[in-house]
Amino acid sequence: MNYYRQGDLAITPIKRLPKGLKKVKSNVLAYGEATGHKHRLLEILPQTENQFEILEDDKGNKYLDIKHPTDLVHEEHKKLTIDRGLYFIKNEKEYNYFEEETARVID
């Protein structure tokens, strides 16, 4: 399994999905706070079976179940093709040593 990164999103492979996840009806993984752009998965049409599922836990953490290679696109970043597998989606953080604070990376 591969690790992927697109802008402020880190897509980390996992061995299994946690229990109690709910399916997300959108194909958007994250919205850009500064620009309003979107990290979104592209579906291949016509689709005979689910290509992927975006799932979310009760804390808002997102997970991916990619059943067929799927493209991840964003207006400001290179397109990525995500291989089949299970993944955890995380927003990258940065540490400001001068202010001694951790902040979410904003895309």
Pairing label, strands 28-31, 70-74 = unpaired
**Mean pLDDT across the chain:** 82
Of the CA atoms within 13 Å of residue 11, those in its CB half-sphere come to 28
Take residue 99 and report the two structure tokens written for it: 């202010």
Q: How far apart are CA 16 and CA 1, in angstroms?
A: 13
Q: Which amino acid type is present at position 95?
A: Y
Q: How much is the pLDDT for 15?
A: 96
User: Where residue 9 falls among pLDDT bands split at 50, 70, 90?
Assistant: confident
User: Where residue 12 falls among pLDDT bands split at 50, 70, 90?
Assistant: very high
Judged against a pLDDT cut of 50, whether residue 45 lies above it is answered with: yes
Judged against a pLDDT cut of 90, whether residue 77 lies above it is answered with: no
Tell which residue, 74, 9, 78, 16, has the closest CA to residue 41: 74
Q: How much is the pLDDT for 71?
A: 92
Whole-model pTM?
0.78
Judged against a pLDDT cut of 80, whether residue 100 lies above it is answered with: no
Judged against a pLDDT cut of 80, whether residue 79 lies above it is answered with: yes
Q: Indicate if the alpha-carbon torsion angle 93, 94, 95, 96 is positive or negative.
A: negative
Q: How far apart are CA 9 and CA 24, in angstroms?
A: 17
